[in-house]
Structure 1
Amino acid sequence: MNYESMPNRNIMCIDMKSFYASAIAMLEGLDIFKDPIAVIGNFNQPGSVVLAASPAMKERFKIKTGNRLFEIPKHPDIKLFEPKMNFFLQMSMTITELIANYVPIDAIHVYSVDESFADLTGTEKLWGTAEETAKEIQRAILDQLNVPSAVGMGPNMLMAKLALDLEAKKTGFARWTYDDVQTKLWRVHPLSEMWGIGKQMERNLNNMGIYTVGGLANADLESLEKRFGVMGSQLFYHAWGIDYSKLGEPLVKNPSLSFGKGQMLMRDYHNRQDISVVLLEMCEDVMKRARDNGFVGRTISLGLSYSQKAMTKGFHRSRTIDVPTNETLVMYKICMDLLDEHFAGEPARQLSVRISNLEQEHSIQLDLFDERKPQRQIIGHTMDAIRNRFGATSILRAVSYTKAGTAIKRDRLVGGHLA
């Protein structure tokens, strides 16, 4: 592969280590390196997930992100906190402002609440080499906010992200160049260890005889494109460390717009009736977003994951309809049909719904056999207008007031957690 014409800038990807725990430590005057700290989603739920754990919590008590509240031992040294999402978001913005002291704000791309990219190209005359600047930013964040970080650097956003995930999160800092692709990237396995490859794609690639990133890079490009379309080409070039994304753009360009919502349930939902309540609330939210943006869609998807106690794997199924829609009850009916076809009766713990295959709303043709369709559309937009003005819970369907409903409780959350 000839890299001479490929992007070759000084891109930094910085990740705040145990961000929620670090932020809480600063707020409470604790030492993130010495005190065993865990941030729990909800104290009232024994099965609530650990959102972040300090190094001492991981080392001394073997508790890390993803553990459950009931797994945490009773020990006087352990300090537990519920999330303070508004404070975490403010901390994230403060960190971004601090990075902006070293590079222009338009050279920063906030990837998530605890991770950002920054283009350090051209800062050499101000702060020294790009590597020195990156380490100085790390020191400044630690000194001023007491938040430790890890930094990956590379010639493009992808390589910086890979350097972070595959090396810097263990060592604190790593810089990869195109020369490192074959020696560091190609040896990565299983494939899901590489950013951008999930478990399902890993299984698909394994079925083609591809088990390492090196095997992916040396696979037949035409076969990958035939099997996966544009994604196959993207996977091939990513395996060579090639990425043309610019700051401010997503690392993966996905031309197919869609609207979706996923929800982790705070308890097991055992029956169809309770699951249907949450599905109706989720369909309402997704279709409101579609209407607000002026879209209708043809493909409706439902995903369901079972509790850890279940003996059955979850499912993800889709159905495409002839007439595009943004009506809540149309989406809900199809989701319920999919649920009835594939639900195994095991306790459900996670749901997702999505509408895709979109087109502009004004493209809908009149249906001579459905005289009430215009009325339903007016009702939908009217309900949206009320919610936009007075809040998401200002008008709800009656099922949201039942024990199975989650809309009222979740309205008080930020990012799914306590504000």
Structure 2
Amino acid sequence: MRFDYSKEPRRAIFFEDVKSNYASIECVQRNLNPLKTSLCVMSRSDHSYGLILAASPKFKEVFGKSNVSRARDLPFLIESRKFNYRKWYEKHTDIYGQRTEPTIEYVAFIESWAKRTYIVPPQMGLYIEENVRMQKILSGYTSIEEIHSYSIDESFMDVTESLNFFYPDIKDKYVQMDRLAQKMQREVLERTGLYITVGMGDNPLLAKIAMDIYAKHSKNMRALIRYEDVPEKLWTIPKMTNFWGIGRATEKSLNKLGIYSIKDLANANPQIIKSKMGVVGLQQFFHANGIDETNVRDKHVKKSESYSNSQILPRDYEKRDEIVLVIKEMAEHLAIRLRKGKKLAGGLSLLVRYSYQTNVPSIKVSCKIDPTQSTLVIQNEALRMFDSKYQSGPVREIGIGTFNLSDENVKQLTLFETMVEDNTEMKKQEALQQAIDEIREKFDFTAIQKASALAEGSRVLERHKMIGGHAAAGGENL
């Protein structure tokens, strides 16, 4: 061992995760077993372009699909529930490139499960309500200050001080942890109908890896990693990208240093790693050795360096006027966020992705601008970039972002602005924007809108009904 773990903090940390959260909630709503039901939550405005946001364990097992995939990639047609031969033939050919036929048994298997599969729209409002319920349950096991929400369905919990309260007669800390995790699982299941997996560890890193790598595949949905388990349970992880914080880019950088496994990383020279990869690489070195001194109580406050927004359109937008309208609406939304955050944007980026059927490369362009939070300026710059690149073709996704943010109280006037007497026009525009913002803040965003919001292709009113880009309440099931 290269580290003296006796000098490291040894807390009792849980990392809990609701198993297939969105899909499980939808199953419970229908009095269905989340582990035995084939169900997926699909954000779709039309069937062929639907995005699978969440899938139940049974859905993943039968169809081999994970979250964030497309309806068109399913082995069955969702409208008819018939086998998708086209998709089969795209992937299944022999060594000569000739099509291979699926077996009759396989087709029957897929169609049988397809008929029993629930395809439902998202209900973001419901998922948020369930998250609030979950947080109340978790707060019964430790103080709210020692619960850190990692996502809508995942939380770190420091239960160190709770162990002796619940199990004063048990002397083994790790037995106490397992009993408490089991108790929590049972209460969550009884009160919500949801199953949770729990990773346990001496620090947040070990608890997270215990959940990701081991608890998900354990029958009791629990797993523990202590400092003493690092060689056995961390260094043997088969893929480096399965390790928390290591993506493909980081893996490639480590490979260049002759590091091809977590064990290699843990036993590498930290000075060389730091010189080649900086602090991020050094952090991964410590993580590979199970070292993480993060305190769950310390809340991370993100200092945003950019604002961005993107949306997949409900259909292919082929008319330029409709595309321009959506860009202007999204630019206005970003300007509102800038004013609310008291920020100025010094840069603007635009993404325009064409319909997948066209095979045309996406438009990706950015530019620096004089720091601003003006709706009109941001709209004009976004449209200028669009006009400089767009030729023709159906568009399916649009994204717009601002970067190089600065505080609004340090704005520098341009030479042109200083030459305009009293900047009268600019002040009028700023006053108008502020008045509109105040009306929307007091009453509702839709309280005052441009007439273009009623035009075909406008997304502003529909987007206002959404949470996180998805429907707050469900629509029609399939």
Question: TM-score when scaled to structure 1?
Answer: 0.84
Q: How does 1:212-251 map to 2 (within 5 A)?
A: 212-214=261-263, 230-247=279-296, 249=298
Q: How does 1:133-282 map to 2 (within 5 A)?
A: 133-171=180-218, 172-186=221-235, 188=237, 191-199=240-248, 201-202=250-251, 211-214=260-263, 230-247=279-296, 249=298, 255=303, 257-269=305-317, 273-282=321-330
Deviation track 1:307-346 (CA, whole Å, cap 9, x = no partner) reads 544546657554334x322223333444445545666967
Q: Could you tell me which of 166, 178, 184 is aligned with 1:131?
A: 178
1:412 matches 2:461 = no
Distance 1:217 1:254, change over 3 A: farther
CA contact (8 A) 2:253 2:277 kept: no
In structure 2, C-alpha distance between the alignment counterparts of 1:288 and 1:19, rounded to whole Å: 32
Moved more, 57-66 or 29-38: 57-66
Gaps of 5+ in 1: none
CA 1:233/1:258 → structure 2, altered by over 3 Å: closer, same or farther? farther
**Residue of structure 1 aligned with 2:440, choices 371, 377, 387:** 387
Aligned match of 2:334: 286
Deviation (angstroms), 1:363: 0.8
Q: Aligned equivalents of 2:275 and 2:426: distance in 1? A: 41
Residue equivalent to 2:59: 57
Q: Structure 1 residues 64 and 281, CA, compared in 2 at 3 Å: closer, same or farther?
A: same
What's the secondary structure of 1:110's corresponding residue?
Answer: strand
After TM superposition, give the deviation of residue 119 of structure 1 in Å. 0.9
User: CA offset at residue 411 of structure 1?
Assistant: 1.2
Specify the alignment match of 1:119 in structure 2.
158
Q: Match for 1:33 among 27, 31, 35? A: 35
Cα drift, residue 121 of structure 1: 0.9
How far the C-alpha of 1:20 sits from its partner, in A, is 1.8
Q: Give the aligned partner of residue 81 of structure 1.
A: 120
State the distance in 1 between where 2:177 and 2:354 align.
47
**Residue in 1 aligned with 2:344?**
296
Q: Any idea what SS the aligned residue of 2:445 has?
A: coil
- The Cα offsets for residues 206-246 of structure 1, whole Å up to 9 and x where unpaired, read as 56665544555566656766666654544444444433433
Residue 126 (structure 1) shift = 2.2
Task: Decide which moves more: 213-222 or 107-116.
Answer: 213-222
**Residue of structure 2 equivalent to 1:7:** 9
Aligned residue identity for 2:213: L
The Cα shift of 1:364 comes to 0.9
| 1-structure distance, mates of 2:24, 2:355 | 30
- Aligned to 1:393, the other structure's residue is in SS state helix
Letter in 2 for 1:114: D
Return the alpha-carbon distance in structure 1 between the equivalents of residues 461 and 184 of structure 2: 41
1:14 to partner: Cα distance: 0.9
Instruction: Report the AA paired with residue 359 of structure 1.
Output: S
The unaligned stretches of length 5 or more in structure 2 are 83-113, 168-175, 418-422, 473-478
Cα distance in 2, alignment partners of residues 352 and 334 from structure 1: 14
2:105 paired residue number: none
Provide the aligned length of Structure 1 versus Structure 2: 417
Task: Name the CA distance, whole Å, in 2 between partners of 1:303 and 1:275.
Answer: 12
Contact 1:189-1:211 at 8 Å conserved across structures: no
Secondary structure, counterpart of 2:135 in structure 1:
helix
- Stretch deviating more after TM superposition (201-210 or 100-109): 201-210
Distance 1:263 1:152 in 2: 34
Distance change in 2, residues 1:408/1:10 (3 Å) = same
Change (3 A) 1:335 1:79: same
How many Å separate the matches in 1 of 2:200 and 2:330?
Answer: 39
CA contact (8 A) 1:141 1:147 kept: yes
Secondary structure at 2:446 match in 1: coil
Q: In structure 2, how many angstroms separate the alpha carbons of the residues matched to 1:394 and 1:279?
A: 21
Q: Which amino acid aligns with 2:343?
A: F
Corresponding position of 2:401: 354
Q: Distance in 1 between the 2:391 and 2:62 partners?
A: 40
Q: Secondary structure at the match of 1:381?
A: helix
Residue equivalent to 1:364: 411
Kept in 2, the 8 Å contact 1:123–1:130? The answer is no
Corresponding residue number in structure 2 for 1:319? 367
TM-score by length of 2: 0.75
Q: Look up the match of 2:21.
A: 19
Structure 2 CA distance for partners of 1:21 and 1:379, relative to 1, 3 Å: same
In structure 2, the CA distance between the partners of 1:347 and 1:392, relative to structure 1 (3 Å rule), is same
Q: Does the 8 Å CA contact 2:148/2:299 hold for their aligned counterparts? A: no
Relative to structure 1, is the Cα distance of residues 383 and 115 closer, same or farther in structure 2, using a 3 angstrom cutoff? same
Contact 1:83 1:417 in 2 (8 A): yes
Q: Give the direction of change, closer, same or farther, for the CA distance of 1:237–1:342 in structure 2 (3 Å limit).
A: farther
